[in-house]
Structures are given as C-alpha cells and as structure tokens.
Homo-oligomer: A and B are copies of this chain.
C-alpha cells in the first residue's frame, strides 16, 4: 500500500495525547502500509518557521496560518501530514481546512477531559499556568472550542493508544487515503 497526500489535523488540549497518537499512527503507517507520513508539530514549528511569533491574538492566528500553509506544502510533496496543534479556535481550524484544498483534510478531535490532561501534565505546563506563569493558557485562562463535527473524535481517557491508533487507521482506509499499489 501507499498513501495519498492529505492532512490529518489533530486538535485538543495540552496533554490530551495528540503527539502520542500521531506518533503511533505514523509508526503504524510506515511499518504496515508503506505510507509516508510526516508529523508537523506545533511546538516544533515554534522553534523554526514560527519562531518570530508570540502569543498575542494576531500572532496565534498567524501561527495557525503558517502551519496550514506548511501542511499544504508537505501534502503537495506527496505526504500524509499529521498536524498536532492545540488549535483552540474553530475559525483557525476552518481556515486550515480551506487552505488544504485540493488535498483531503480531516479533523481529529483528541478529546480528553481537562482534569485528566491536567493530571497527566507531561510538560508541567498546567502546574506553571496554575502558578500564574503562563498567561492565556488553553483550558484554564483561554478557551478551547471543541470541534462540532470533526471527522474523528477520540477520547484518549477511555481508549488505549492501540485502540486510538486503530480508529485513525480505519478511518484512513475507509476514506481511501491509503491505497493498494
């Protein structure tokens, strides 16, 4: 099998498991499907392409715009792009969907209750945000607008990583993003 180009946009709170799920999907696709999948990560992008941006409203919007453009470039190069971005606002995700044309785009809501995310706190960000060290922290002092009709919604508090991965791969197969060579 191989992949068609396309963009899977993983959105969810910090600590919801976006990166873990995308990493697992990437490994599965490469090892079992001969697919070329690339992870475009929000934190990584802020160290390179988006290193000049801060966290004002304008900069956050520009952050998403560039991510959407970069995802489109990678899809244009033939990749199945796994974007992991908190991307809290519907408008930003809608813009990413529109910029993806003519490539297929699907929103994966990595849904996990805030309490669970905060308990996991893999990067210690919730602790710092509660201590007032991070202003406008999504979920605490800045809103997260859940997708109303995502192509996939995966509750990582209830499913194992293997089950979550299987759901994403099944979706890609059903939608024809993976094809027999």
Q: Which of B36, B52, B72, B77 contacts A38 (CB 8 A)?
A: B77
B74 touches A74 (CB 8 A): yes
Q: Which of B36, B62, B66, B73 contacts A74 (CB 8 A)?
A: B73
Closest approach, in angstroms, between the C-beta of A26 and any C-beta of chain B?
Answer: 11
Q: Per-residue CB proximity of A74-88 to B under 8 Å, as 1/0?
A: 101111000000000
A38 to B69, CA, bound (A): 15
Q: Which of B36, B48, B52 contacts A73 (CB 8 A)?
A: B48
What is the count of identical protomers in the complex?
2
Among A52, A72, A77, A99, find the residue whose CB has the most chain B CB atoms closer than 10 A. Answer: A77
The residue in chain B whose Cβ has the minimal distance to the Cβ of A79 is: B77
Residues of A within 8 A of B (CB): 36, 38, 40, 48-49, 52, 62, 66, 69-70, 72-74, 76-79, 99
